[in-house]
Amino acid sequence: MPGKEWHQKHWKVVHRIERPSNELVKRFALLATAQIADSMGRHGVMHHEIKPLCPDMHVAGPAITVLTRPGDALFVQKAIEVCQEGDVVVIDASGYRDVAALGERLAYYFQRRGIGGIVCDGAIRDSQGIVDRGIPTFSRGVCIKIFGSEGPGAINVPIPCGGIVVNPGDIVVGDRDGVVIVPREDSPRVVELAEKHLADELERVKRIEAGESMEVVYGVDTKINKWS
């Protein structure tokens, strides 16, 4: 192992993690990130710069976490053999936008494994190729430069990503608004509440379309008059 200076997480590769059920993931996939975030008190939202390569990209699945140096692909490569079908590969590349953590080839190899998508707190490259292959990919930026594959890094350890702590097996949901992380142990409660929020929203739409006023449906004037 080169040198002696590394973090205690470095060089760890955890193959077995606990994942949420497929049924639970499918329920989250029907919800918008905003509804999910509202159900967690507006927490769990990654930095607004982490966005999909195309606005119509959507992802929902359990997190496989990757810790890597900016521009280093060694542990991204290793994650290809660790991930399972439906997983979302979440990469902590320290938020650097001037060097890429992966490109089309590695994204393609992940796709062959059946992953649900990729989230990178850093940059990616070969963005057009990734889009053409239909791989849901969210990143902080796009950059041509990449450094190599030397390490250090780790797989399936807790990581920061976009200002949020992500643990292996947490549920990742991404759409054109951004990415939200749901702690796996809290996911049953969150999905129930998010589904209720959606049902309530649709009910209010019906009431407005039926002719009710914003004051009646949302209590707008009542809230304003409290401050008069």
C-alpha 155/C-alpha 167 separation (Å) is 11
C-alpha 130/C-alpha 102 separation (Å) is 10
pLDDT truncated to tens, each residue of the chain (228 aa)? Answer: 456 676 778 887 889 999 999 999 999 999 999 999 999 998 999 999 999 999 999 999 999 999 999 999 999 999 999 999 999 999 999 999 999 999 999 999 999 999 999 999 999 999 999 999 999 999 999 999 988 888 889 999 999 999 999 999 999 999 999 999 999 999 999 999 999 999 999 999 999 999 999 888 988 888 888 887
Q: Is residue 17 part of a domain?
A: no
Q: Is residue 93 part of a domain?
A: yes
Q: Is residue 16 part of a domain?
A: no
Residue found under tokens 């890094």: 153
Q: Is residue 35 part of a domain?
A: yes
Q: Is residue 58 part of a domain?
A: yes
Q: Is residue 75 part of a domain?
A: yes
Handedness of CA 181, 186, 187, 190 (dihedral sign): negative
How many structural domains comprise the chain? 1
Six-digit token pair at 20? Answer: 């949420």
The CATH code of the domain that includes 134 is 3.50.30.40
Task: Supply the range of the domain harboring residue 103.
Answer: 22-193
Q: Is residue 207 part of a domain?
A: no
Q: Is residue 201 part of a domain?
A: no
- The pTM for the full model equals 0.92
